[in-house]
Chain A
Amino acid sequence: MTGIRFLWVALVAAMVGWSGCAEPQPSTRPPQNEPLKVLNLEPLPEFSFINQDSTPITEATVAGKVHVVDFFFTNCPTICPRMKANMLTVYEEFVSDDRVVLLSHAIDTRRDTVPVLKEYSERLEVSAPRWHFVTGEKDAILGIARDYKLAANEDSTAPGGFAHSGALILLDQKRDIRGYYSGVSEEETAEMIGDMKKLLAEDGE
């Protein structure tokens, strides 16, 4: 009898173990009502990139703006399309608000040239100056990702040749980081839109 009992205990334990793997991860984000903390310890460095209209984009472009930063590449088969669908929601929310800028960095700098980024933005039916798709020197793009504390690397084993974080980063008018959100999550994107409105309200005080 002990043999049978052991078999069933093992079987039940295995089933519980399997279902345990499918449990959703609890959110690590702070409660909604708390003020947004400044998350960077030191000021972010200057940068110089070029957008889909061949316009130079620097730290001056985002000075005084609530802005969202992310990293992607146009040939990305995995998380980028969902990030872009969520960024599109943000774009639509603030399309006529001059106080907001979206800044998407193309990390596949060899393939994602200015004309490629132009076609991509046109197919997405979005435009500068609300949403800049920027490219530049590869080391500069990957370097600023590290400055934003995001992972972005060339990786021949990853689908499409690059591995990068799917985060959206929210920065305030002073270029301080105020939040990190999952760009593949509709819920966290909605939360970010709420936080952007908080930052815009701070500006008016």
Chain B
Amino acid sequence: MENKPKRRYLPLLLATGIPVLGLIFIFVFVDLEPDAVDASGQARYELHCANCHGKAGEGLRGLYPPLAKSDYLAQNQGNLACQIRHGLQGPIMVNGHPYNMAMPGNPNVSPKEITAIINYVNTSWGNDIPTVTQASVEKRLKYCAGG
């Protein structure tokens, strides 16, 4: 008889607790998805990069270099994280064409987001470059020149 009032709250506890735990589980699970399949890469790319480099990585004539089938992209994989974070100044050659517009940095983009962007670019529009891990991006970001 004394336990009865307590038991009345048990279904309530379960009914609220299970959905809440479920939501927590979903958030944790999503966070643990491997870097290579992070579907936010496209959205991040279109937010931070596509204005200049184009939705399909096509670039804009002699102003902004392409990222699709770009020899520069393939040859500078180790510099990409720092270039996305801190920008890029000075002339570069891409597929035999000179480019010289300053690229602004993105100081507020996280290592996770940078990883998603790089992996989206590396695997889109005919690009077939190996994906990178967030751990390797974080390591690169520690040793950016001037950063």
Residues of A within 8 A of B (CB): 1, 3-4, 7, 11, 74-75, 77-79, 81-82, 84-85, 88, 119-120, 122-125, 159-160
B51 / chain A contacts, CB cutoff of 8 Å:
77-79, 81-82
On whether A84 and B60 interact (CB within 8 A), knowing A75-B102, A79-B51, the answer reads yes
A84 / chain B contacts, CB cutoff of 8 Å:
60, 63
Interface size class for chain B?
10 to 19
On whether A123 and B63 interact (CB within 8 A), knowing A75-B102, A81-B52, the answer reads yes
Distance A165 CA – B64 CA, assembled complex (angstroms): 22
Contact B12 A4 (CB under 8 A): yes
A4 / chain B contacts, CB cutoff of 8 Å:
12, 15-16
Give the contacting residue for B62; candidates A75, A122, A159, A160; CB below 8 A.
A122
Distance A7 CA – B19 CA, assembled complex (angstroms): 10
B104 nearest in chain A by CB position: A77
How far is the CB of A123 from the nearest CB of chain B, in Å?
A: 4
B103 nearest in chain A by CB position: A77
How far is the CB of B60 from the nearest CB of chain A, in Å?
A: 6
B58 nearest in chain A by CB position: A85
B6 interfacial by beta-carbon distance below 8 Å: no
How far is the CB of A188 from the nearest CB of chain B, in Å?
A: 17
A83 nearest in chain B by CB position: B51
Give the contacting residue for B12; candidates A3, A81, A120; CB below 8 A.
A3
Contact A160 B61 (CB under 8 A): no
9 closest residue pairs by CB, A with B? A123-B62, A77-B104, A81-B52, A123-B63, A81-B51, A4-B15, A125-B61, A82-B51, A124-B61
